[in-house]
Copies of this chain bind each other. A is one copy, B any other.
Amino acid sequence: MTSLPSDPNLRDLATPPACTADFCLIPIGTSSGASVSKEIAQVQRLLKMSGLNYSLHSAGTTLEGSWDDVMRIIGQCHSMLHANGVLRIQSDIRIGTRTDKSQTFADKVRAVEDLLKSDSHDA
């Protein structure tokens, strides 16, 4: 006997309070052919409005916040571009959560760079 479908826990299960997400959004079927920089700039403006911590890089944008805030703003980026006439959008999102420690995306890069710096000292 399993009562999974009516299990009350699903309703009570909160999404993670913090996450780091990195997304690469691809507009498909735009009128501007293969160039997507105009759409990416629109996304950056929307992210700026969100108040979340974010960083544009060479293959996407990293942002930090609660799971719900992060996912809502990415969804809003899709909606905004659709409203601007983009028929189809595909995003790849890498999202990480952890309970062992709190670490910003800047911390993560620094941890690796610190390890690499000690290479030169050893040399």
The residues of A with any CB-CB pair to B shorter than 8 Å are 1-2, 4-5, 7, 10, 13-16, 19-20, 22, 24, 26-30, 33-38, 40-41, 44-46, 48-51, 55-60, 62, 67-68, 71-72, 75-76, 78-80, 82, 87-100, 105-106, 108-109, 111-113, 115-116, 119, 122-123
Contacts and interface: CB of A to CB of B under 8 A. Distances in A.
Contact of A29 (B33, B89, B119): B33
A48 B112 CA distance: 14
Contacts of A24: 22, 90, 94
B34 A88 contact: yes
Given A22-B58, A109-B56, A88 B96 contact: yes
A87 B94 contact: no
B116 A57 contact: no
The 10 closest A-B pairs by CB, nearest first: A15-B75, A22-B59, A29-B34, A58-B105, A41-B115, A34-B88, A71-B71, A57-B57, A88-B98, A58-B62
Contacts of A111: 37
